[in-house]
Structures are given as C-alpha cells and as structure tokens.
Structure 1
Amino acid sequence: MGNSIGENKLVTIDELEELLCNLRNESENKENFTLNITHDMRSHLNVIISALQFIEHNSLNITTEKKYMNIIKRNSYKILKLINNLIDTSRLENNFYKLEKRNIDIVSMIEGTVECIEKYSLEKNIQLIFDTNKEECIVSADPEAIDRIVMNLLSNAIKFSPMDSEIFVYLNIDNENINISVIDNGKGISQEEQDKIFNRFYQCSNRSDKEYIGSGIGLDLTNYLVKAHGGNISINSVENEGSEFIVTIPRVLEEHIETVDNSISSKIQMLEIEFSDIYLSE
C-alpha cells in the first residue's frame, strides 16, 4: 500500500514564494518587536541613570529632589510594565498562567477601576463616563486579570484620544455574558490593521503621536486574558472617528469559590504601573 504520486499536492512556484515572503515578514516582525522592547527598556534606564547622576552631583532642594525621584519612579514602572506584560503574555501563550478566580461584583469593581483611572485621563482633560444596565452582578473571574483588561483598554483610549474629549465605558449584562465596551473618538484604526491589532508583533502604522508608540504587547496580553476567561475581544473602528473595543466573557458563578470584595487600595500600584507612560507632567 504505497502512496500514489497523484495523492501528493504539488506546490506551485507562486505558492512557495508567498510562503517564503510570509516567513520573512514574520521573522522581521519578531525582530522589530525585540528591538522595540529593548529600545524602550534602554530609553527608560537612560532616564533613570541621568536622574540619579543629576541628584548625585548637585545640591538639590526638596522640591527639585522630589521631581527627579518621581522621574526615577515613573521610568522604573515603565520598565516593570514591559517586563510584566512580556512574561505574562508568554505564560498565557504556553498555558502556564493560572487564573485566580473569585466571585466578585464585577459592576462595582469596574466602576471603581474607572474612577481610579480618571485622575490619569484628566491629564488630557478627558472625561471618563461609566454606564451599566445592572447595579450588581456577581460573577466568577480573576479580579487582577479583569482590572488589567480594563486598564489596558482605557490606557490605549486615553493615549490616542484628543485633549478635551470623552471616553465611554459601557457595561451590558445579559443572562449569558458580561459585555464591556470602551469607546473613544480618537484616531481610529484602518480595517486592514484591525485584523492584526491583537498580534504582539504588529504595530499600527498610522500613529502620528510618537510619544505613545510602544511595543504593542498590551493588546496581545489583553486578548490572552480575555480568552483565558472563555471570552473574546473585538474592535469596531473608523479612521479619524474613533474606536470601540468590546470584551465579552461568560456570566458564570461558581459556588465552591468564595465571594470577595475587590479593594480599590490594591489597585493603586497597578494603576501607576499601567499608566506610567501617559503622564503629561512629571
């Protein structure tokens, strides 16, 4: 029972060239990703070293010293954010990340997170508006993962939204799902790039705001965290009109897991790390 030559699929020259081109593009994207990560880390380390050298070689008053210590703290958080995202994305990709699920009131949790984030949006005079169709909903989820999902989506929305604008966070709960929608009126994303936006090795090419161009790993991590909850994330966007990110996770309550109160105080350092790259003032 030998294989017939006729059963083997022949690869055409065009198909082979397309395959090689895709492999080259993938390799180039991975190389660019590595370069972006290392460049970001080096830039933040250079700022830290410069600030430390300035403190070391100058007699500073309390106000000036505090300013440079804040610069050091902010850039340290930037490096920590990059490292955390890189490690956790790799762990999720390889199924090494374990969700720590609790039964939580997701309405009050997300509302509290949005309220905490408002101080960062006000740096650009951006108003965060939260609305929900339910006043309470106990659901089984990892509180830290849900926080990171919301923080990442709002961080991106704030970065790419114009001054004096609004960002809407809608929580729509039905019998089966929790739907979280984040809407901005920023630069928007082309249809072609929407298909690639959750790939860590891809960055949007239409970003004119160079200050906020990063590694692109945040949305990739968000996508993994949503999928780890059995959910999905999608995007609706029109260039120059804005974007809507929609997260949908199953509405599940597990009786064997305790119900906990997710404290706002536990989010403070996480917020400072996540939003370390969008301060407008030191």
Structure 2
Amino acid sequence: MIKFRSRAFVALISLIVVVLIGLGILLGQFFKYNFLDALNNKIKVEIWWVLSAGFGTAVIVTLLLVFKITTRYTKPIKAATEVAIELAHGNYRARTKVSRLDDTGILGSSINMLAENLQELTKVRDIQQDRLSALIENMGAGLILIDSRGYINLVNKGFIDIFHINPSEYLNKQYYEVVDYEEICQLIAEVFRTEQKVSKQLHLPLQIERKYFIVYGVPIIGANNVWKGVLLVFHDISEIKKLEQMRKDFVANVSHELKTPVTSIKGFTETLLDGAMNNKETLQSFLSIILKESDRLQTLIQDLLDLSKIEQQGFQLNIQMINLYSILQDVLKLLDGKADTKNIQLEFQSKQNHAYIKGDFDRLKQVFINLINNAITYTPVNGKVSIYLLDSDEMVRISIKDTGVGISKEDIPRIFERFYRVDRARSRNSGGTGLGLAIVKHLIEAHQGSISVKSKLGEGSEFIIELPKEMNLKDGER
C-alpha cells in the first residue's frame, strides 16, 4: 500500500518538475529573442504557439496520468474500504471486485479472504449456538442461569414447564424478587457465598401437588477466577420417589397378605398338636380352615408369579386366531355353579355367535374369569350379571355389568393398583388377593386394548374392554 502510493507521488513530482523545466527553457528562449531586435513579430507568434502547445500538452499528460492513477489505485482502495466497513457492520457476504494482480488486487483478495473466513466462522458459531440452544431447551431438566449481580439471564423450557412461569417475568430480574420458593433462594445464596457446588433434594408444592427435585447449584467462574454467576439445574425425581414408595407398599402388602394365612395355618396346626386333633369334629373343622388358607396362599403366590412374569420386559403372548364368543361361553359354564349358590342370574348377549380376533387364548380366558368372578362375588343374592359382546369392523367390545355394591368415584382410579382394595374386610373374606385387576389391566394392555370402569355406590359396576382385531406385533413377538 505504502509502496504504490510512494511510486505515484514520485511520478507526479517528476512530471511536474519536467514540465516546469521545459516551460522555463521555453520562456528563457522567448525572453532572449525578445531582447534581440532582429526578432520579428512572426517569429514571436510562432514561439508563443509552441509555448502554448507545450504547456497544453503538459497539462493533458498530467491529467491523463492523474486519471490513470485514480483509476488504478484510488477506486480499488475505495471499494476495499467500503467492503471493510460492511464487514465491520457484520455483513460477511460483502466482496470487492479483483481485476488485476498488482498491489490493489492483493489488497482486494486479502479482504475477500478475510470476509470468507469470517463468514465461515459465523456459520460454525451459529451451528454451535443452535446445538447448544437445542440441548438446553430439550435436556429434560429445568435450568436457570443467574449472573454475578443476581439477575436471571436464562430460563429453559424445562424450567418453564415444571414451574409454569412466564419467562418475561423472570428474565433480567433479581432472582430473590421472582423466585417464590425460599429453599431455592437459600440454595442460590449458598452458592454465591461459598463459591462451591451445592446439591440438595427439595420437596416443593406445585399447584395441587408436591414434587421432589434434586437441585444442583454450580458456580460459574471464568478465566483468572472471574466470578460469572450461578447455574441451577432441576431434576424431577417425583416418579422415582413414587416407584420407591410403590416398592415399599408392595413389600409391606405382600408381607401382610402372606402373614395372615401363614399365621392361621400355624395357629390351627399348633392347636391340633396340643390335643385338639383327638376331637373328630374339631379336627375336621381345623383341617378345612387350614386347606382354605393354603388355597388362599397358593392363589396369592400364583398371582404374584403371574404379575411378575407379565411385567417382565421379555413377556410374550401366544398369538393365534381365537373366538371371544366361545371363550366367554366356556367361562360362564365354569362360573355358573358359583352364581347358582347366590341365585345370581348370568346373562350373555351377542348378536353373533362369533367374534374373531388375534390374541392369547389362555390369557384372555384368565381376564374374563377374573372379571366375571369379581362381578359374582360382589353382587348380592338374587342379583344379576350381564355380559355383552359387540363385534365391530376393527374392534371387539366386551362389557361385564353387575348389580353389585358398586365403587365410589374416589376409588375408581386406584382399583387397578396392586393390592388396592375398596373394602379390605370384604375382599379378604371373599378370598381375593388384591392382584386380580392389576393382572387384568396388564394383559389387556399387552393385547393393545383398553379397559375402563363405570360405577356408582349401591348401583353396581360395569367393566368395559375394547380389543383390536389385529395387533401390531413387534420383532420377536408371535
């Protein structure tokens, strides 16, 4: 840049010096002849013409040289300057035209290369920014970023969904002004105070429920130990806590259900061994009770094994073409004797004598035995149990309706839980284990169907099953 400017300056100075020297020589000659008397007017005119022509030629040559220098150097420099200004404003797509390989061409090429590099860096930065944003927004945990002054700079979608907040009410606000939970404010203050990572388990009320969170508070410290702020991450562990509680309840319920028959068997056996076995009537009565409790214990263990098998990841159904009409007929024959003992009317209605679907014969029979047996068990003497079978184009609907004691609205959402009983005393006296409906629900869902309940206390219940005729089988299923 300095090199070609110096050359242009030297060329202009040299040209001006040459023109001035030439003009000086011409003027000198003119004045020399002017002092000579022999010089006539005609020669004087010719000298003036020569002098004027020379001066005009010098002016024209100078203008042409200036124009050439301007065209060759000034315009490319101006164009390069404009592109540089555009780059400074963030327009990395700006380019300058390069038409020659001299110094100005090298300058233009360098600026274009700089623009390309900046554009590529910007593209890479945007890609990384998009990836980071996608990661932050979809990380499955709540995140809040607070700067060194305590102002909230960022809240992600997870935090918004968990706490149901409006981001505009949080951003650029002091954290203690907008965060309603004292435990969270204390955790943030502790990170600011200690400049150490803090982890706590919090139990926070959210609308109509309380949820468990593991909250990590991390100090953000930059280069040279410059304090940047605090990052908070919220992991919702409510489901884990729920599963943990279910496990505890399951163990407690199994222990209780096993303890009752075992205690009865042990107690009556000890009584017999103490001498009661010598009384024939007492012996027969006690042995009947022991047999009944043994059957109950066996049923409980079998239900536990069935439920455990059904809930395993590798559980598979034996899929084949079956007729639900025939299955229901077989189940009604099995349970007809139990219904007769309570004078309960069993009614089966179907417009057709067939309803074919793809399913597991034994498992679906187990489902209907359980549901119809429950309907008979909880229906008073002289009641009625009705089974309706409806065959449509893609689904088969089975409804089992009774005139029994019914289920309250509060209990309906929980009847498919393991060991849950609406009336524990009545269920235990009836020999139930509390696992039947849980098994039914798992088996229906394994057939890609659904089960629902309609019931009112004192008016009876209706269990409605919908099963698809064709199942979408995954690899490995049969």
TM-score range relative to shorter protein:
0.7 to 0.9
1:15 aligned to 2:15? no
Residue 257 of structure 2 aligns to a residue whose secondary structure is helix
* Partner in structure 1 of residue 84 of structure 2: none
Q: Structure 1: how far apart are the matches of 2:432 and 2:294?
A: 15
Q: Structure 2: how far apart are the matches of 1:120 and 1:68?
A: 24
Mean Cα displacement is larger for which, 228-237 or 14-23?
A: 14-23
CA deviations over 1:53-105 (Å, ceiling 9, x no partner): 566652476x9877655544433332222222222223322323221223333
Change over 3 Å in CA distance of 1:167–1:196 after alignment to 2: same
Normalised to the residue count of structure 1, the TM-score between the two structures is 0.74
Q: Structure 2 residue aligned with 1:82, among 300, 309, 314? A: 300
Shift, 1:229, TM fit: 0.9
* Partner in structure 1 of residue 248 of structure 2: 31
Q: Structure 2 residue aligned with 1:209, among 426, 429, 440? A: 426
Contact 1:108 1:136 in 2 (8 A): yes
* Partner in structure 2 of residue 153 of structure 1: 371
Q: Structure 2: how far apart are the matches of 1:20 and 1:215?
A: 32
Q: Structure 1: how far apart are the matches of 2:438 and 2:249?
A: 16
Shift, 1:247, TM fit: 1.1
Query: Which amino acid letter does the alignment assign opposite residue 176 of structure 1?
Result: E
Contact 1:118 1:127 in 2 (8 A): no
Q: Structure 2: how far apart are the matches of 1:68 and 1:118?
A: 29
Normalised to the residue count of structure 2, the TM-score between the two structures is 0.46
* Partner in structure 2 of residue 47 of structure 1: 264
Q: Structure 2: how far apart are the matches of 1:82 and 1:37?
A: 9
Q: Structure 1: how far apart are the matches of 2:288 and 2:321?
A: 36
Q: Structure 2 residue aligned with 1:125, among 335, 340, 343? A: 343
Gaps of 5+ in 2: 1-128, 137-143, 146-153, 164-179, 182-204, 214-237, 473-478
Q: Structure 1: how far apart are the matches of 2:421 and 2:212?
A: 22
Q: Structure 2 residue aligned with 1:184, among 370, 383, 402? A: 402
Contact 1:235 1:244 in 2 (8 A): yes
Q: Structure 1: how far apart are the matches of 2:464 and 2:426?
A: 24
* Partner in structure 2 of residue 259 of structure 1: none
Structure with more helix by fraction: 2
Q: Structure 2: how far apart are the matches of 1:128 and 1:160?
A: 14
Q: Structure 1: how far apart are the matches of 2:321 and 2:260?
A: 41
Q: Structure 1 residue aligned with 2:455, among 237, 252, 259? A: 237
Change over 3 Å in CA distance of 1:65–1:111 after alignment to 2: farther
Q: Per chain length, whose mean CA-contact separation is higher, i.e. which structure has more relative contact order (CA < 8 Å, sep 6+)?
A: 1
Residue 464 of structure 2 aligns to a residue whose secondary structure is strand
1:99-138 to structure 2, matched below 5 A, reads 99-138=317-356
Gaps of 5+ in 1: 255-282
Change over 3 Å in CA distance of 1:134–1:249 after alignment to 2: same
CA deviations over 1:148-168 (Å, ceiling 9, x no partner): 111111222223221221111
Residue 414 of structure 2 aligns to a residue whose secondary structure is coil
- For the aligned residue pairs, the C-alpha RMSD in angstroms reads 3.3
Q: Structure 1: how far apart are the matches of 2:260 and 2:444?
A: 31
Residue 411 of structure 2 aligns to a residue whose secondary structure is helix
Mean Cα displacement is larger for which, 232-241 or 78-87?
A: 78-87
Q: Identity percentage over the alignment?
A: 27
